[in-house]
Amino acid sequence: MSGEGRPTARALNAEGVRLAIVATRWNSDLVEVMTERAMICAREAGTAAPTLVYAAGAVELPVIAQQLARTHDAVVALGAVIRGGTPHFEYVCDAVTYGLTRIALDESTPVGNGVLTCDTHEQAVARSGGPGASEDKGYEATHAALDAALTLQSLKGTE
């Protein structure tokens, strides 16, 4: 796992930014922590209460995120995919990453990708933002999505 190269988070004033979070019900022990951390980031940035919805699993994230991107300024997708003994892991990770990226581009709405893709549960715990974790992906994905939304808003004022 590498958080190497991670930028220092800048303070955000995202008051008025409409934020949505979609989280999976799979690996809920991890995703609940990530969702809590995402909500803390949103609160610290000054956003109103984010819309929070749940998806069955990671494959369902993109379609729900796309609908949310049509009515929000930023979307955050949260989940955890842990490698098993079959190639299914690669298919799911590729599909989710591609889907979330495509939504951001098609809808011109930032989508924070907070979907952990780990070999083990222990690696996922270390990235989830819980006590003693070395990384905080729920918070980081939310911060990135809000930061991008603010940048897009500022660019619209220069057209």
Annotated binding site for (2S)-2-hydroxy-3-oxobutyl phosphate: which residue ranges?
Answer: 85-86, 127
Residue among 72, 88, 121, 143 flagged as catalytic: 88
Report the distance separating Cα 98 and Cα 129, nearest Å. Answer: 24
Active site (annotated) includes residue 88: yes
CB 97 within 8 A of CB 50: no
Say which residues have a Cβ less than 8 Å from residue 98's Cβ, sequence separation at least 6: none
Report the distance separating Cα 152 and Cα 2, nearest Å. Answer: 28
Region label for 143, one of left (φ > 0), alpha (ψ between -120 and 50) or beta (otherwise): alpha
Both tokens of 37, joined, read 């951390």
Report the distance separating Cα 12 and Cα 98, nearest Å. Answer: 27
Residues designated catalytic: 88
